[in-house]
Amino acid sequence: MIPLKVSNLVKKYGDLEAVKNVSFEIQSGEIFGLLGPNGAGKTSIISSITTIEKPTSGSIELFGGRVERENKAAKAILGVVPQELVNHGFFSAFEVLEFHSGYYGIRSNKKHIEFLLNKLGLWEHRDKKIKQMSGGMKRRLLIAKALVHQPKLLLLDEPTAGVDIELRASLWDFVRELRDSGTTILLTTHYLEEAEELCDRVGVINHGKLIKIGPTKQLIKELTSRQVAIYLKNKLPPCQHINLIKSNAQEKSMLFEISNQTGIGELLAQLKFPMEDIIDIQIQEGRLEDAFVKLLGDKNELTS
């Protein structure tokens, strides 16, 4: 059964159409990333799935069941990490997780709470009051909260915003572990490196429209090119090749940009450099960031 199916979703706030006829599906056991600039409509899509917001039109199905407001089945299936940090002020991390379990009618899950606190690097902070926690700790607690009832589908809206690089990497590992143990994951992120590292597939939202969707690797392959640096032993031969970007006489190197469909052998055959003259060939594959520049025109819009 398909964990999530969004069909022709439209979300308007007054005159503003924040989500414009968006349709996509998430496959079981994948990490799917929704990417797009600020205000693109990512949170509006998530809020429609969680029924915090009522869609203007369109439908959302979770494991084959249509999502309605106050839907009990949906509540049990979904774990949600909201973008906004909420403050539980005077309660400790442990208490927050216990209360939240109660909200799902779960009582004796102390072991699972301990597991989550450990996994999210919160064990030593378990007795801290929330108001004494840093932003990154609060973000991790939100993730633990979303997982107390072991949901089948986890929605993470900017899960690593404000989390330092080291912790971000351990969170990625944890998200992968969750995926590998059968949880399906939808996340939004501003970090393209994160999406590239983590997401099996990505969808790109811009001005409320889904402008691209596909497996991350395939999307990168389709939208980017490779840079090939060739280092030569002797002085550079004259070269008029159309893919030549620059030559460096001092380094005795030449940089070419070729499509992902062009083989290195093909390039070398065209160049006809004597093989014994080639010291090194370095290939730099395109990044998701490059794919974004192609799609949106300006990466700064997204990475800022």
Ligand X SMILES: Nc1ncnc2c1ncn2[C@@H]1O[C@H](COP(=O)(O)OP(=O)(O)OP(=O)(O)O)[C@@H](O)[C@H]1O
**Least distance CB 302 / Mg ion (angstroms):** 12
**Least distance CB 28 / Mg ion (angstroms):** 25
Take residue 295 and report the two structure tokens written for it: 């799609």
Q: Which of 26, 40, 144, 178 binds ligand X (CB under 6 A)?
A: 40
* Comparison of 41 and 286: residue with beta carbon closer to ligand X: 41
From 12-20, 68-76, 216-224, 292-300, span contacting ligand X (CB under 6 A): 12-20
Site membership for ligand X, residue 38 (CB under 6 A): yes
221 vs 71: CA distance, rounded Å: 40
Site membership for ligand X, residue 50 (CB under 6 A): no
Under 8 Å CB-to-CB from 11, ≥6 apart: which residues?
A: 17, 18, 19, 41, 44, 45, 48, 53, 55, 56
**Least distance CB 38 / ligand X (angstroms):** 4
255 vs 240: CA distance, rounded Å: 12
Q: Which of 1, 2, 8, 13 binds ligand X (CB under 6 A)?
A: 13
**Least distance CB 77 / ligand X (angstroms):** 22
From 34-42, 56-64, 100-108, 146-154, span contacting ligand X (CB under 6 A): 34-42
Closest CA to 296 of 34, 17, 36: 36
In one-letter notation, the amino acid at residue 104 is Y
Under 8 Å CB-to-CB from 16, ≥6 apart: which residues?
A: none
| Residues 64-83, interacting with ligand X (CB under 6 A) | 83
From 35-43, 93-101, 221-229, 239-247, span contacting ligand X (CB under 6 A): 35-43
18 vs 231: CA distance, rounded Å: 50
Site membership for ligand X, residue 203 (CB under 6 A): no
Beta 253-259 vs 244-248: how paired, if at all? antiparallel
Closest CA to 36 of 220, 292, 224: 292
SS3 76: helix
Residues at the site binding ligand X, with contacts judged by CB under 6 A: 13, 16, 18, 36, 38-44, 83
